[in-house]
Amino acid sequence: MKLNELEEYYQLELGQIYEEDETTALFSLAAEHVLQLTQIKLRMSRDNDLSHIHLQKMLSILNDLKMYKPIQHILGEAHFYGSVYKVNENVLIPRPETEELVDWIIADHSSRKDLNILDIGTGSGCIPISLKRFLPRAKVSSLDISEKALTVARENAQSLHTTVNFIQADILTYSSEDKLDIMVSNPPYIKDLEKEQMHQNVLSHEPHLALFVSNENPLVFYKAIADLAIKTLNPGGYLYLEINEYLGEETIDMLKGKGFSNIALRKDMQGKDRMIKAGY
C-alpha cells in the first residue's frame, strides 16, 4: 500500500469520529513517528510503497484512534514549545494555548536573572521545564497532587536536561514560606456541565483530576492559588493563569477582591479568553 492510499484509508475509517483536517493531522503525526520523516519528506514520499512493518504499525495506530485513544498517548509523546515530552494517561496532553501562556512569561521576564518561579499542577512538567530551559538562571519549582504525574514530569526534566524542584502537594492545603517572583498555573477549570461538549478521547483517556471542577465552585483552585500568591509573591511579582474561557470576568473579579492589580486578560490564538496576568 502506498502512503497516499493509506491516508485515504485513514480518512475513510475515521470520518465518523474526526473532521477531515483533524484526520489529516493525525495521519501526519503517525506517519512522522513511524517512518521517522519530516513533513517535507512525507509529502515527497506520498507515492512510495510502505514496508510490511511500517504498514502494520500504521494500522495499529489507526485501530487505537478508532477506540478514541489520543494520538499522543498512542505515540507516548507530545510536542510542546519546541521539545518532545513523554505523556501517558496520568497527565494532561500539553495544549497550544498553554504554550502561549509560557511564551507570555518568557517574553515578560527574559532579561531577569534572579527569578524564583513556582508552577502549580505540573502534569507532564511542560510549563516548569520550558520556563527553566528559556530562563536558565531562574529557580523553578513545581507541585502536583499526583505522584504518578510527578514521575512523568521528573522523567521529562531528566530527558530535557533541566533542573526543576518537584513537590507532591495539594494546592488546597499547601503552604510555603518561600518568596516568589512568578507563580503560574493551569489548574482544573472545566465545569462538570461542560463534559458533554468534550471529545470522547479526552473524557476516556485524560485524568479527570486535572480537568474538572464542580459547577458550584469552579474557581476553587484559583482562589487557593491566589491566596498562596498573596502570601508568597515579592513586591512586583506576578501571577499567570490559564483560565476557562467562560469565566474570565469572574476570575478577574475574584483577583481584584483579593487585592491584585494590573490585571490583564489575554485571548489565545483562537480568540478565546484564556490567560490572565495579575500583579501584586
Are 110 and 206 part of one and the same domain? yes
Domain-located, residue 202? yes
- Report d(CA 102, CA 276) in Å as an integer: 12
Are 111 and 7 part of one and the same domain? no
Domain-located, residue 34? yes
Are 117 and 206 part of one and the same domain? yes
Band of residue 116 on the pLDDT scale cut at 50, 70, 90 = very high
Q: What is the pLDDT of residue 92?
A: 87
Q: What is the pLDDT of residue 43?
A: 83
Are 32 and 149 part of one and the same domain? no
Are 123 and 246 part of one and the same domain? yes
140, amino acid identity: V
Domain end, chosen from 39, 67, 95, is at 67
Domain-located, residue 84? yes
Helix, strand, coil percentages, rounded to 5, for the chain? 45, 20, 35
The total number of structural domains that make up the chain: 2
Q: What is the pLDDT of residue 205?
A: 47
Q: What is the pLDDT of residue 232?
A: 96
- Report d(CA 243, CA 221) in Å as an integer: 11
At 2-55, the pLDDT tens digits run 999 999 999 999 998 889 999 999 999 999 999 888 888 888 888 888 999 999
Cβ contacts of 39 within 8 Å, gap of 6 or more? 28, 32
- Report d(CA 209, CA 60) in Å as an integer: 29
Domain end, chosen from 11, 34, 67, is at 67
pLDDT at 108 over 90: yes
Question: What backbone torsions phi and psi does residue 227 show, to the nearest 5 degrees?
Answer: -65, -40
Nearest Cα to 101, choosing from 163, 189, 164? 189
CB 125 within 8 A of CB 81: no
Q: How many residues make up the chain in this entry? A: 280
Q: What is the pLDDT of residue 215?
A: 65
Are 19 and 106 part of one and the same domain? no
Domain-located, residue 12? yes
Burial degree of 101 (CB within 10 A; 0-12, 13-18, 19+)? buried
Handedness of CA 198, 201, 202, 208 (dihedral sign): positive
Q: Copy the grid coordinates of residue 148.
A: 504518578
Domain end, chosen from 41, 67, 93, is at 67
pTM of the complete model: 0.88
What single-letter DSSP state applies at residue 73?
H
Task: Tell me which residue range forms the domain holding 15.
Answer: 3-67
Are 119 and 234 part of one and the same domain? yes
Are 90 and 122 part of one and the same domain? yes
Are 118 and 55 part of one and the same domain? no
At 218-254, the pLDDT tens digits run 888 899 999 999 999 999 999 999 998 888 999 999 9
Domain-located, residue 73? no
Nearest Cα to 123, choosing from 160, 158, 86? 86
Domain-located, residue 47? yes
Q: What is the pLDDT of residue 40?
A: 85
Nearest Cα to 194, choosing from 221, 215, 209? 215
**Average pLDDT for the chain:** 89
- Report d(CA 69, CA 61) in Å as an integer: 9
Q: What is the pLDDT of residue 203?
A: 47
Domain-located, residue 188? yes
Band of residue 212 on the pLDDT scale cut at 50, 70, 90 = low
Are 58 and 194 part of one and the same domain? no
- How many Cα atoms are found within 13 Å in the side-chain-facing hemisphere of 250? 12
At 40-91, the pLDDT tens digits run 888 888 888 899 999 999 999 999 999 888 999 999 999 999 999 999 989 9
For residue 211, list its beta bridge partners. none
Are 62 and 91 part of one and the same domain? no
Domain-located, residue 109? yes
Q: What is the CATH number of the domain that holds 213?
A: 3.40.50.150
- DSSP string across 172-201: TT------EEEEEE----EEGGGGGGS-HH
Are 125 and 263 part of one and the same domain? yes
- Report d(CA 5, CA 8) in Å as an integer: 5
Burial degree of 154 (CB within 10 A; 0-12, 13-18, 19+)? middle
At 125-169, the pLDDT tens digits run 999 999 999 999 999 999 999 999 999 999 999 999 999 999 999
